[in-house]
């Protein structure tokens, strides 16, 4: 989706208990093992503020973006992946905070959109990478958003490529269940404007959602929290009807303060930061998964940039919504 490094709802609680399958047994709820979400001191906005303290935009970016909890993205730019995830989770654990990590390295990444194309070069390479990712976390508490775009960005893929992707995601969930028992894994489910709820439910089930904790929505997009809750409930209704279970979900609220601009996803103008990371809010959690100010690619208000590049003017304008 276009980037690099970068409590169930009341409706679900109303479902018959027989339809609400429990997530796989894990050692503990990671949110109960920590005192809040981790604020990354090395996020791109934090590093920009530290490097340019005299910039007139720095106070607004510092107070409204850089000091907020947000996810750290990991991919083929991250070096030795087990070392990278281990260091990040270790830093959070030392502060008794809950880190949010994004795994973004699946082969044929962003295959249809193209702005963040790439990923691991082979099935073997990815399977080794994701196993090391999980091993780096170990038993420490964490949240992982698993492969944004992977189940929405399939319109240009062959049946064989889709089958391969499902196999990779199923294996990834297995690796986290075995190696990172205090991690909640959310399999990415795109956004309300991408795939129908019925199609997404089928895609999630084929990719192994029944063995993951939940699913994520709106990563790097702008749809309102209310729109995402409605969509999530429809996905869960389709899951319960077709597969006999539902799952909790999280929503990326990092850039949805003004909602979507007619579905435009690539550096859309006039967007605004949304509700900072928290538990509840209509989903299991509202999270800043995309870093506000990081480009989606050479498009929109990020023309001339590359995916993941921090654009201070974009971050500044997102604070005020213009």
Q: Dump pLDDT digits (tens) for 181-193.
A: 999 999 999 999 9
Does a structural domain hold residue 51?
yes
At 26, is the pLDDT very low, low, confident or very high (cuts 50, 70, 90)?
A: low
The catalytic residues are 149
Does a structural domain hold residue 3?
no
Does a structural domain hold residue 68?
yes
For the chain, what is the domain count? 1
Residue among 282, 287, 286, 278 nearest 11 (CA): 282
Does a structural domain hold residue 1?
no
pTM over 0.85: yes
Q: At what angle do helices 159-179 and 123-137 cross, to 10 degrees?
A: 20
Does a structural domain hold residue 4?
no
23 and 239 in contact (C-beta within 8 Å)? no
Q: Dump pLDDT digits (tens) for 42-90.
A: 999 999 999 999 999 999 999 999 999 999 999 999 999 999 999 999 9
Does a structural domain hold residue 140?
yes
Q: What is the CATH number of the domain that holds 253?
A: 3.20.20.40
Which tokens is 208 given? 């192994």
Does a structural domain hold residue 243?
yes
Does a structural domain hold residue 5?
no
Domain range for 155: 10-320
How far from the centroid of its chain's Cα atoms is residue 4's Cα?
11
């Amino acid at each position: 989706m276009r980037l690099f490094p970068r409590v169930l709802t009341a409706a679900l609680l109303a479902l018959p208990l027989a339809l609400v399958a429990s997530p796989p047994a894990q050692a503990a709820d990671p949110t109960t093992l920590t005192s809040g979400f981790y604020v990354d001191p090395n996020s791109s906005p934090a590093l920009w503020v530290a490097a340019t303290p005299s910039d007139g935009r720095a106070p607004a970016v510092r107070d409204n973006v850089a000091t907020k909890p947000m996810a750290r993205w990991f991919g083929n730019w991250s070096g030795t992946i087990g070392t990278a995830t281990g260091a990040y989770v270790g830093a959070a654990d030392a502060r008794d905070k809950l880190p949010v990590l994004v795994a973004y390295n699946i082969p044929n990444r962003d295959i249809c959109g193209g702005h963040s194309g790439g990923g691991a070069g082979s099935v073997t390479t990815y399977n080794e990478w994701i196993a090391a990712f999980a091993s780096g976390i170990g038993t420490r508490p964490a949240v992982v958003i698993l492969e944004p775009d992977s189940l929405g960005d399939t319109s240009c893929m062959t049946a064989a490529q889709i089958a391969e992707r499902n196999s990779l995601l199923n294996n990834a969930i297995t690796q986290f269940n075995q190696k990172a028992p205090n991690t909640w894994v959310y399999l990415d489910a795109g956004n309300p404007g991408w795939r129908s709820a019925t199609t997404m439910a089928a895609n999630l089930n084929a990719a192994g959602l029944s063995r993951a904790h939940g699913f994520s929505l709106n990563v790097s997009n702008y749809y309102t929290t209310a729109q995402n809750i409605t969509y999530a409930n429809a996905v869960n209704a389709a899951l319960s009807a077709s597969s006999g279970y539902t799952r909790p979900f999280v929503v990326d609220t990092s850039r949805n303060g003004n909602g979507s601009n007619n579905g435009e996803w690539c550096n859309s103008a006039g967007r605004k930061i949304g509700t900072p990371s928290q538990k509840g809010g209509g989903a299991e959690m509202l999270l800043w998964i995309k870093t506000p100010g990081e480009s989606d690619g050479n498009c929109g208000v990020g023309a001339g940039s590359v995916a993941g590049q921090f654009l201070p003017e974009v971050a500044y304008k997102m604070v005020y919504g213009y």
